[in-house]
Structures are given as structure tokens and as C-alpha cells.
């Protein structure tokens, strides 16, 4: 339930412009190299801190858990544990980002929870403090705290913002299916040595567009090939799966190009498309 006194924070989706799986780590994760950009597709979180109580999550999305399995819940619990006060928060999530679709919605929600609670409690933690918490919540969570396009290494926790902006627009297509990120990584057959990619300008980005997970997913999920073909028929030049799928996007170098592709789309029933700006 949203009250008039609730603190509102927007929680953005992301796309992976580059995603390379470099090999298996001793902790079970994969060493990765990824370039991510946030986009103007948002969930909204409404946060209250009542005088007493515990953590309670509500949402408009019937398929999302609202218990301790929810990343928002985990983020709030970790925040209050770190500040050493009894946990008490009421958080309502208005979900617009497709779930389990490679767009980072859950990770973004966790990061927004940390930022929102930190603001409501008058900033007890620095950004470095929040980044340390974010690492414990998930590989993409630190990225969403920085609010800039960034390269992430390690298992995703070593994040370096780009020194230049990415003035891209995107058309995102999301088939009505959910894909398990962990399941995809278990099937990755590529093992690579340390990545030597240098990203110093826009042309570097365009030349290195690649997602190592795409080959694995495309063999199992026919909707990925179908989505790529739909975008190609609509006139898109740069087409890639985001994250572990199943969302596929077309990178556009102008809003006009994005609008032309959007108008030309012919989608199957229940598929969703979004015209968004890179942030």
C-alpha cells in the first residue's frame, strides 16, 4: 500500500552491450567482462520507515515473491543489519521491467532499496559502504548504484564507469518467457583467458558488441532467434540479447532510427516492446 508520505525512487533496467564469460571461478561463479548501460525503463519503489514493525514488501506483480526470497527484502534486511538497528520498512514495488528477462530488474530494485533507505535515514552510509553491501546481494547490484555506463569484471562486482557517455537509443523486445541466469551459466562452454578489450570510445563499443551467453540460450529458446529476426526485418543493424535473455535489443544511434524501427515492428501476441533511451 502506498501512502502519501512514502519516499519514491525510480529503478531502471539495463542492457549488456558486451558480455564475455572468461572462465569458472573457485566460488562457482563465472569470471566475466561486461559493459552495461541503464535505460529509461523503470520500476518504481515507494518506501516508508514506520516507527516499529518489520520488513514488509508488496507489489503489483502477482508472480513476484514478497518474502525473504525477494531481493528488495534481502537488501533492506542487510541495510538494517549493517546500521545495527531493528529492521522496519514498508516497500511497495510497481513492476514494469519484465522479470527474468536479462534486464536486471531485480538487481536494480535491490540497489534502489539501499539508496532509498540511505536517503530516508539521512545518509548513514557512504557510496563505498553501499557498494560493499551490494556485492553481497548480487553481481549486477553494484553497477546500479553508480548510475553511469560501466565495465564490470570479476563476477560483476568490480565496476569501472566509462569516461565518456553512450548516446544510444534502444528498442527492446521481451518474449513472454522467463530464463534462469544460473541455468544459463551452467551451460556456458566458453572458457577464455584474461580479456584484452579496451573501451575508450563509441567505436570500440560498436566493434565489440557480443554476448557469450547468446549462443547457449539460442540453442534452447527459439524465441531469441525469432526476436532477432523481427528486429532485423524492422531495419535494425545492431542486435543483441541482453544478459542471459530472453530480452533482445536493437542499438540505435539516434531517436529517429529507434522510432523507425519501433513503427516497423510486428510482434507475436503477448510479446512486449520498449523504445528507451540509454542513461
The yes-or-no answer on residue 14 being catalytic is: yes
3-state SS class at 40: strand
The yes-or-no answer on residue 140 being catalytic is: yes
DSSP calls for 185-204? HHT------S------SHHH
Question: Which grid cell sits at 216?
Answer: 547457449
Cβ 145 vs Cβ 114: under 8 Å: yes
Catalytic residue among 95, 140, 212, 228: 140
- List CB contacts of 186: < 8 A, sequence separation 6 or more: none
Q: How far apart are CA 68 and CA 71, in angstroms?
A: 8
Q: How far apart are CA 235 and CA 238, in angstroms?
A: 10
Question: Position of cell 520507515?
Answer: 49
Question: Position of cell 528507451?
Answer: 276
Q: What is the DSSP secondary structure assignment for residue 98, as one 8-state letter? A: P
Question: Which grid cell sits at 69?
Answer: 526470497
Catalytic residue among 14, 74, 95, 228: 14
Task: Give 18's strand partners.
Answer: 35, 210
Q: How far apart are CA 146 and CA 117, in angstroms?
A: 16
Which residues are the active-site residues? 14, 140
Amino acid at each position: 500500500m502506498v501512502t502519501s508520505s512514502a519516499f519514491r525512487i525510480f529503478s531502471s533496467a539495463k542492457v549488456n552491450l558486451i558480455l564475455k564469460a572468461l572462465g569458472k571461478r573457485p566460488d562457482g561463479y563465472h569470471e566475466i567482462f561486461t559493459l552495461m548501460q541503464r535505460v529509461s525503463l523503470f520500476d518504481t519503489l515507494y518506501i516508508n520507515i514506520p516507527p516499529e514493525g518489520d520488513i514488509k514488501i508488496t507489489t503489483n506483480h502477482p508472480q513476484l515473491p514478497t518474502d525473504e526470497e525477494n531481493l528488495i527484502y534481502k537488501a533492506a534486511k542487510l541495510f538494517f543489519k549493517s546500521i545495527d538497528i531493528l529492521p522496519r520498512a514498508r516497500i511497495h514495488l510497481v513492476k514494469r521491467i519484465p522479470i527474468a528477462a536479462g534486464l536486471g530488474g531485480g538487481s536494480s530494485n535491490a540497489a534502489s532499496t539501499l539508496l532509498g533507505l540511505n536517503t530516508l535515514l539521512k545518509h548513514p552510509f557512504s557510496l563505498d559502504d553501499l557498494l560493499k553491501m551490494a556485492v553481497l546481494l548480487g553481481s549486477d547490484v553494484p553497477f546500479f548504484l553508480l548510475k553511469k555506463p560501466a565495465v564490470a569484471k570479476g563476477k560483476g562486482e568490480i565496476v569501472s564507469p566509462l569516461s565518456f557517455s553512450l548516446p544510444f537509443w534502444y528498442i527492446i523486445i521481451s518474449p513472454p518467457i522467463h530464463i534462469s541466469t544460473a541455468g544459463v551459466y551452467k551451460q556456458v562452454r566458453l572458457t577464455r583467458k584474461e580479456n584484452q578489450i579496451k573501451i575508450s570510445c563509441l567505436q570500440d563499443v560498436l566493434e565489440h558488441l557480443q554476448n557469450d551467453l547468446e549462443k547457449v540460450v539460442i540453442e534452447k529458446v527459439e524465441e531469441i532467434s525469432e526476436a532477432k529476426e523481427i528486429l532485423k526485418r524492422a531495419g535494425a543493424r545492431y542486435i543483441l540479447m541482453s544478459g542471459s535473455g530472453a530480452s533482445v535489443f536493437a542499438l540505435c544511434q539516434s531517436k529517429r532510427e529507434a522510432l523507425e524501427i519501433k513503427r516497423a515492428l510486428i510482434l507475436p501476441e503477448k510479446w512486449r516492446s520498449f523504445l528507451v533511451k540509454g542513461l
